C-alpha cells in the first residue's frame, strides 16, 4: 500500500529546471510543503556533473525519464570525505581524494 503522493523524481533521475538546465537528483527531502530535491547540474543525458548541488522544489523540476548514476556516486563520495570544508571546494565534477593537497604556490 502506497502512502502519500508519489515522488516527482527518484534518486539518479535526470530532471530539467529553469527550462534549459539539466541535472541529476542526488537526494530529496519530504519535510517541506513541497518535496525538495538536491540536484547536481549535468549535461542533458545526465553525465559530466559540475558545480555545487542545489535544492529545488518539486514544482521547479520536470523528470526526463532518463537516469544518470555517476553524479550521485561522485556526490556521495565527496560527502563521505567530510564535506566542503575539508575538501576545500564545492564542485562535484570529480571525486576528491583525502590527503592530496594542491601544489604549493611560489
Q: 10 Å Cβ neighbour count for 40?
A: 24
Confidence of residue 17 (pLDDT cuts 50, 70, 90): very high
**Grid coordinates given for 87:** 575538501
Name the pairing type of β-strands 36-42 and 50-57.
antiparallel
pLDDT digits (tens, 9 = 90+) for 51-96: 888 999 989 999 999 999 988 888 888 777 776 666 667 777 776 6
**Domains, the chain, ranges and CATH?**
13-87 (2.30.30)
pLDDT digits (tens, 9 = 90+) for 38-48: 999 999 999 88
**Structure pTM?**
0.78
Amino acid at each position: 500500500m502506497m502512502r502519500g503522493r508519489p515522488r516527482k523524481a527518484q534518486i539518479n533521475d535526470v530532471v530539467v529546471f529553469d527550462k534549459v538546465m539539466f541535472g541529476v537528483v542526488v537526494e530529496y527531502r519530504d519535510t517541506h510543503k513541497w518535496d525538495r530535491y538536491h540536484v547536481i547540474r549535468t549535461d542533458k543525458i545526465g553525465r559530466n556533473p559540475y558545480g555545487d548541488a542545489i535544492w529545488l522544489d518539486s514544482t521547479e523540476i520536470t523528470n526526463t525519464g532518463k537516469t544518470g548514476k555517476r553524479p550521485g556516486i561522485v556526490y556521495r563520495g565527496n560527502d563521505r570525505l567530510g564535506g566542503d570544508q575539508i575538501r576545500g571546494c564545492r564542485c562535484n565534477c570529480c571525486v576528491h581524494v583525502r590527503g592530496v593537497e594542491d601544489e604549493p604556490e611560489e
